[in-house]
């Protein structure tokens, strides 16, 4: 079977790498991909948002399944368009993707179906939102309704910060129309966990839990990024918590979507806060997480293409079990100096051999190969994933590989998984 993967980051490299292991796969195309992906797949120069051209390509090349990485094309209705043309595609349709595309829709959905989440109010007039903030207990979290490239949620600690954030979103239109409406919600305390689950709209099967590291600097300091590293699984999500997540979050979400007349096929990503009173949803995403996917997929033994086809054909079944490698995986992101704001590209990378083996994989996020020279080509440059029997060993593999890779201004967090390691030490 021929596959088309849409997207160009580390997540898509991990998807292509994993899908390539399936015996059913003859060839993988990636649109637009990157030079790292180009080592194992054929990159084609079509942008993820160019739905018509992607459909034409899939039709012309008899693609057996298209897999969508980023949220943009999903919220724009790529799945609806492919289905209309009878092309098989893995991902939720436009209506289903609203669960990520609109915070207001997502929060109101959770409220309606009693899915645990932070208490919230919705505003579409700035003065009313500011008025509301006169009487709240800080901190609160202010979120732009629409997609804002991971920058649309701001924790504010006092009235002045709240006013400024509301003005930025609703009056200065910092995020364009994404800020026409906002959600103000109470601040939840706890530890964050990412749960990705595959669903055919009827059954839902969770993958192993993982944890992202969103802030740019060690110790969770500095601005939020797309993610500086992740590890899998987390010790936080034990059997009891898994059951809670399944019974109070995943199953009610699928049941609620069905009641709304929505058949959600694809990956449902739940960003959770594990609070004293149980897991609560911070956000839903309608796709694989990045960098989580780079830590989760290397542990998955089950054929990913089989799973995806079962989801698309609504044959997932609730009894299906996923096979996982015993042990841990840890992905450390190497980023360009200045990320997540301004950074240079075109910086020479040395030491970038093909490390891919049983204990280490290098997933490319922003690289380009010019002749024989690898150059940086984005904020997040590489995802270096180590795998071994425990988290400490997995991290050792990742950091050892990182020590061999050099580019000017390379930035990476040195404390990926450190909180989890500390916990194991304290528990012993
Ligand atoms: P979101 O885009 O909704 O996932 O928010 C981005 C980040 O903001 C999350 O990963 C959390 O770190 C933080 N955050 C969002 N909502 C809350 C909340 N209600 N309480 C505490 N932190 C939050
Ligand atoms: N790692 C967070 C995300 O993919 O949105």
pLDDT reported for residue 151: 79
pLDDT reported for residue 123: 98
SS3 per residue for 258-288? HHCCCCCCEEEEEEEEEECCEEEEEEEECCC
Domains of the chain: 2-93 (3.40.50.20), 125-180 (3.30.1490), 191-312 (3.30.470.20), 328-427 (3.90.600.10)
Output the residue whose Cα is nearest ligand 1's atom 5. 153
Statement: residue 426 has pLDDT above 80: no
Q: What is the CA(332)–ligand 2 centre distance, in A?
A: 14
Q: For 122-147, what is the mean pLDDT?
A: 96
Q: Above pLDDT 70, what percent of the chain?
A: 98
* Residue 81 contacts residue 97 (beta carbons within 8 Å): no
Q: Report the SS3 class of residue 361.
A: strand
pLDDT reported for residue 211: 98
The binding-site residues of ligand 2, defined as CB within 6 angstroms of any ligand atom, are 212, 227, 285, 289-290, 292
Number of Cβ within 10 Å of residue 205's Cβ equals 21
Tokens of 416: 């990926």
Statement: residue 422 has pLDDT above 90: no
Ligand 2: which atom is nearest the Cα of residue 212?
Answer: 1
- 150: closest CA among 260, 27, 261, 285? 285
Per-residue pLDDT tens digits for 76-115: 999 999 999 999 999 999 999 999 999 999 999 999 999 9
Statement: residue 224 has pLDDT above 90: no
Residue among 290, 295, 413, 416 whose CB has most ligand 2 atoms within 8 A, to mutate:
290
pLDDT reported for residue 162: 97
Confidence of residue 69 (pLDDT cuts 50, 70, 90): very high
Per-residue pLDDT tens digits for 369-397: 999 999 999 999 999 999 999 999 999 99
Statement: residue 428 has pLDDT above 60: no
Total residues found in the chain within this entry: 428
Mean pLDDT for all residues in the chain: 96
Per-residue pLDDT tens digits for 195-213: 999 999 999 999 999 999 9
pTM of the model: 0.96
To 5 degrees, how large is the angle CA 94–CA 99–CA 381? 90
Q: For 359-374, what is the mean pLDDT?
A: 96
pLDDT reported for residue 427: 58
- 84: closest CA among 46, 45, 58, 61? 58
Confidence of residue 296 (pLDDT cuts 50, 70, 90): very high
More confident residue, 318 or 281: 281
Q: Report the SS3 class of residue 16.
A: helix
- Least confident stretch, 2-11, 45-54, 329-338, 354-363: 354-363
pLDDT reported for residue 18: 98
- 14: closest CA among 232, 291, 218, 276? 291
Q: Is 154 in the pocket of ligand 1 (CB under 6 A)?
A: no
Confidence of residue 348 (pLDDT cuts 50, 70, 90): very high
Per-residue pLDDT tens digits for 42-68: 999 999 999 999 999 999 999 999 999
Q: What is the CA(283)–ligand 2 centre distance, in A?
A: 10
pLDDT reported for residue 338: 96
Statement: residue 150 has pLDDT above 80: no
pLDDT reported for residue 270: 98
pLDDT reported for residue 266: 98
pLDDT reported for residue 425: 64
């Amino acid at each position: 079977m021929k596959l088309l993967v849409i997207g160009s980051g580390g997540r898509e490299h991990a998807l292509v790498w994993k899908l390539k292991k399936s015996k059913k796969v003859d060839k993988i195309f990636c649109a637009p991909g990157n030079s790292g992906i180009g080592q194992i797949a054929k990159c084609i120069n079509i942008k993820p948002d160019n739905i018509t051209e992607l459909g034409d390509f899939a039709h012309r090349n008899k693609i057996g399944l298209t897999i969508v990485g980023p949220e943009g094309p999903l919220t724009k209705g790529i799945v609806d368009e492919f289905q209309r043309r009878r092309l098989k595609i893995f991902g939720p349709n436009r209506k289903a993707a609203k669960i990520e595309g609109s915070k207001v829709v997502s929060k109101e959905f959770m409220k309606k179906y009693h899915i645990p989440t932070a208490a919230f109010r919705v505003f579409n007039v700035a003065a009313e939102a500011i008025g509301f903030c006169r009487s709240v207990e800080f901190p609160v979290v202010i979120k732009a309704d629409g997609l804002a490239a991971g920058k649309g949620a701001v924790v504010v600690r006092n009235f002045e910060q709240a006013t400024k954030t509301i003005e930025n979103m609703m009056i200065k239109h910092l995020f364009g129309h994404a800020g026409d409406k906002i959600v103000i919600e109470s601040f939840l305390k706890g530890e964050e966990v990412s749960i990705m689950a595959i669903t055919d709209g009827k059954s839902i099967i969770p993958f192993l839990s993982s944890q992202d590291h969103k802030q740019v600097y060690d110790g969770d300091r500095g601005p939020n990024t797309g993610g500086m590293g992740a590890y899998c699984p987390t010790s936080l999500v034990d059997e009891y918590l898994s059951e809670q997540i399944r019974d109070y979050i995943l199953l009610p979400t699928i049941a609620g979507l069905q009641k709304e007349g929505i058949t959600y096929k694809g990956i449902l990503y739940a960003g959770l806060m594990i609070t004293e009173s149980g897991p609560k949803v911070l956000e839903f995403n309608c796709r694989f997480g990045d960098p989580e996917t780079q830590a989760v997929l290397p542990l998955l033994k089950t054929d990913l293409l089989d799973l995806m086809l079962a989801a698309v054909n609504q044959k997932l079944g609730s009894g299906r079990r996923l096979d996982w490698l015993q042990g841990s995986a840890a992905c450390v992101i190497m980023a360009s100096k200045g990320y997540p704001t301004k950074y240079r590209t075109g910086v020479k990378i040395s030491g970038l051999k093909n490390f891919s083996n049983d204990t280490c994989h290098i997933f490319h996020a922003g690289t380009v190969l010019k002749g024989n020279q690898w150059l940086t080509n984005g904020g997040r440059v590489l995802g270096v994933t180590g795998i071994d029997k425990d988290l400490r060993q997995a991290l050792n593999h990742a950091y050892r590989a990182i020590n061999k890779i050099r580019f000017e201004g390379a930035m990476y967090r040195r404390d990926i998984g450190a909180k989890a390691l500390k916990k194991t030490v304290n528990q012993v």
